[in-house]
A and B are shown apart, each in its own frame.
Chain A
Amino acid sequence: GAGVSQSPSNKVTEKGKDVELRCDPISGHTALYWYRQSLGQGLEFLIYFQGNSAPDKSGLPSDRFSAERTGGSVSTLTIQRTQQEDSAVYLCASSLDGAGTNGKLFFGSGTQLSVL
């Protein structure tokens, strides 16, 4: 596709429910990142996938959060038993071969998650 695609764009859920957020990176990009941004806050790193290497999960805030990337392309971020503090914009980004090359990440439009 022309850019990073995320779905859904908005998700409202009840506390305790599970949610899945999807990211379709730019074709050919080997690196994929998940960040989240709360109101008035910066970007909080969650997880990083690079090719077939083991992902960097160091940013996941709790074991309720998990992510997978199938076939080196589409990624799904799953949040189990959602809590109100999970409410944020979840941003996915991809890059050609990782931020270490030139720092250029291409971000999707994000999923606005609201936990009631």
Chain B
Amino acid sequence: QKEVEQNSGPLSVPEGAIASLNCTYSDRGSQSFFWYRQYSGKSPELIMSIYSNGDKEDGRFTAQLNKASQYVSLLIRDSQPSDSATYLCAFLANSGYSTLTFGKGTMLLVSP
């Protein structure tokens, strides 16, 4: 069973701090990893993708991938109250189908 594990949270950080969200996955064959953000009552939206070991930066967001440890993380710098949402880690299953497997998500709360 291909799985994604995330701490459900909530992760509470003050405004301006760095929020660190973590995810581990079981499928060693996976090559593509994604972070989706889901505001309460809304649908998920893609915010980051990462395919290679190392860091990938996009504005205040940095995704980190370590395939040897089967670990992917998302750092949010200068966290804002508008970043308060559930962050879903997802990977592309190495099954021949283009199907994303999602984790249960980590709720982030940024307090003013």
The segment out of B54-62, B77-85, B97-105 that lies at the interface is B97-105
Closest to A48 in B: B99
How many residues of B are in contact with the other chain, CB < 8 A? 24
Instruction: Report A10 CB to chain B, min CB distance, Å.
Output: 13
Q: Could you tell me if A43 and B46 are in contact, using CB atoms closer than 8 angstroms? A: no
Contact (A42, B103) CB under 8 Å given A103-B32, A103-B34, A109-B43 = yes
B65 within 8 A of A: no
Question: Would you call B98 and A98 a contact (CB within 8 A)?
Answer: yes
- B90 contacts A103, CB within 8 Å? yes
Q: Which residues in B have some Cβ–Cβ distance to A below 8 Å?
A: 4, 6, 8, 32, 34, 42-46, 49, 88, 90, 92, 95, 97-105
Chain A residues in contact with chain B, CB under 8 A? 31, 33, 35, 40-45, 48, 50, 56, 58-59, 91, 95, 98-105, 107-110
